[in-house]
Chain A
């Protein structure tokens, strides 16, 4: 059933229309086995639609997809037997205990009583749920709910797990712990398809794709994406400028010729600078305006920089296209 091929997911030219609206517009990507695949994009960009298509809930308007080597269109039932899924609100039954939630999902997947018992033991061990075993899911904190939900999604030992915004609204410690767990499981050959809004989480993925208005506009490892020529235009470099009163410093910095774009990052400014403008020169120009730079150093673009840059370019291209053939529509 699960063919020994290297890809966990192949999506080819996926299209999904709702009436006249195209939610997913010709998307292709491949997820290799054992990857942690980060699927990013703003709300309403089509992330959930893609997950629904890959899990066989939404028929494809065009294109094809295989999940674990199984054709999604031809055999959605088998696809669903071979994947785990955890939704953003940790879909648990809050009036059921940890044990009962696990038992319910185990039976949904048709586990035999012996296998169910063994799997529950393993998952409780792995996710550290033992102290809460008899507790109602409603009484668990966000982090524990999430571990239980993940446990429910992997009872039937799927080799591919979809996580839809798994860390939305939980505390940073639990977030870190979940990622540690994901790395652990990934090392055992489980593939993860993760959607997230957090850029630091995107950086942890071994492969990311960025979807914007139904189009994939970036696809690769985080390092590959950082080195894209679109993100690093020839004749420019990026710097991080640390200074007191960053907001004031930003206003000043933006008036300096040779500084292409700048944005605040915590207590410092990230800026894209023309090669002609040297670091010392920049420091002097800021000092002319009374800004004392405490530190200034070259910087590789962050994934956020990458996505922002690619989004701008995509938008510009879109409006060009819209303007060219006919009057732009609202």
Chain B
């Protein structure tokens, strides 16, 4: 009688050993799902809180400060900065630093004291519709509440005392492609460039051609630049295709300069290429490189504000988001495409990317020298 399960025990034994020896795979297969669960569990918080808010308080007297206190106490708004003119108010929103701008007019207290209706302008960045919706609801509710409070306190008034006037600045019809596609650009670019770079180097490692190249007079810089430039070109071409499709297929209006977008994509591509080299210095096979590359893609999707507004993240993830290159590039793409941002608004993001890219390249070059060439 043939035992159809013959060898089961032996194979089971061997496989358990493999799993125990290959700690990395076990780690990835166990930790990544847990990380995703934490992200999705904590990340999706429909109660959007602590929206970065810029305030232009032209009045400055007690009544205006009371209103600001109420806004702050609502937990929806986090007053990030005070400014002194309309221009700065607008800039803070266009640059992406703040999502909401509140302007209290110079005659706010006077009007309230004379029983007239005082208007407060609430500028809202509409690129993320969920954030915008929450901002509208809470700000008008506070206006209503403040008015009621004054009526009950005995103010002689026939109309709303505090009239919150929300104005959605960008993406007024809250189209979701307008919101998602510019962010997607960042994820797709990272995908293409990091993967391609990492693979191209790891493939040479696998074949042994890298070893061969090291014994030739090729200098490290010549090797790296020669390798990276074609992929930089591909990344750039990819960007052009994505932007073209976005504009003409999905009718996303581009409010800023396409040239600036192209220019600012360079530091981002620089970061993703450096990441690719870093991965290739660690990975021993293309499959391994794939695993590591996914590790860089996931944070870019979840922490960068691409899907979940960064405002809704727990503090811990919010801090992490500052270390994710896509965070900055998404602000650049949304800034240029949706908010018509210019160099003045985005230079700090570009600088952050450039700094990250340089740091990564230095680490990658070091590792490459220690672990690949002289190993």
Contact = CB atoms under 8 A, between A and B. Distances in A.
Given A57-B373, A58-B374, A93 B209 contact: yes
Nearest to A84: B215
A80 B217 contact: yes
Interface in A79-125: 80-81, 83, 85-89, 91-94, 105, 108-110
A94 B215 contact: no
A80 B374 CA distance: 15
A80 B208 contact: no
B217 A87 contact: no
A80 B213 CA distance: 10
Interface string B191-206: 0000000000000000
B207 A94 contact: yes
Contacts of A105: 216
Given A57-B373, A58-B374, A80 B215 contact: yes
A248 B291 CA distance: 55
Contact of B211 (A81, A91, A94): A91
Nearest to A105: B216
A316 to B, nearest CB: 33
Interface residues of A, number: 23
A77 interface: yes
Given A57-B374, A59-B374, A85 B215 contact: yes
Contacts of A88: 208
Contacts of B1: none
Contact of B217 (A57, A77, A93, A162): A77
A93 B374 CA distance: 22
B123 to A, nearest CB: 55
B137 interface: no
Nearest to A93: B209
A81 B373 contact: no
Interface string B283-326: 00000000000000000000000000000000000000000000
A87 B374 contact: no
Contact count band on B: 10 to 19
A91 B208 contact: yes
B227 to A, nearest CB: 13
B217 A109 contact: yes
Contacts, number: 45
Contacts of B217: 77, 80-81, 108-110
B216 A91 contact: no
Q: Which of B208, B211, B215, B373 has the most CB of A within 10 A?
A: B215
A83 B211 CA distance: 15
A80 B208 CA distance: 17
A55 interface: yes
Contacts of A89: 207-208
B215 A55 contact: yes
A83 B214 CA distance: 12
B249 interface: no
Nearest to A91: B212
A22 B207 CA distance: 28
A80 B209 contact: no
Given A57-B373, A58-B374, A59-B374, A108 B216 contact: yes
B259 interface: no
The A interface is mostly helix, strand or loop, or mixed, namely loop
Contacts of A94: 207
Contacts of A81: 217
Contacts of A110: 217
B344 interface: no
Nearest to A101: B209
B218 interface: yes
B368 to A, nearest CB: 13
B178 to A, nearest CB: 41
Contacts of B374: 52, 57-59
A175 to B, nearest CB: 20
B209 A92 contact: yes
A162 B211 CA distance: 13
A85 B209 CA distance: 11
Interface string B205-235: 0011101111111110000000000000000
A59 B370 CA distance: 12
B213 A108 contact: yes
Nearest to B209: A91
Nearest to A52: B374
Given A57-B373, A59-B374, A92-B209, A108 B218 contact: yes
Contacts of A52: 374
Given A57-B373, A58-B374, A80 B207 contact: no
A15 B213 CA distance: 24
A62 to B, nearest CB: 16
Most chain B CB inside 10 Å of its own CB: which residue of A55, A91, A93, A94: A91
B370 to A, nearest CB: 11
Contacts of A58: 374
Nearest to B207: A91
Contacts of A109: 216-217
Contact of A87 (B212, B218, B373): B212
Of residues B216, B219, B373, B374, which shows the largest number of chain A Cβ atoms within 10 Å of its Cβ? B216
A92 B208 CA distance: 8
Nearest to B216: A108
A83 B207 contact: no
A87 B215 CA distance: 10
Contacts of A80: 215-217
Which of B209, B212, B214 has the most chain A CB atoms closer than 10 A to its own CB?
A: B212
Contact of A83 (B208, B212, B215, B218): B215
19 contacts: A57-B214, A57-B215, A57-B373, A57-B374, A77-B217, A80-B216, A80-B217, A81-B217, A85-B215, A86-B212, A87-B208, A87-B212, A89-B207, A91-B211, A92-B207, A93-B207, A108-B216, A108-B217, A162-B215
Interface of B: 207-209, 211-219, 373-374
Given A89-B208, A91-B208, A110-B217, 16 more contacts: A52-B374, A55-B215, A59-B374, A77-B217, A80-B215, A80-B216, A85-B212, A86-B212, A89-B207, A92-B209, A93-B207, A105-B216, A108-B213, A108-B216, A108-B217, A162-B215
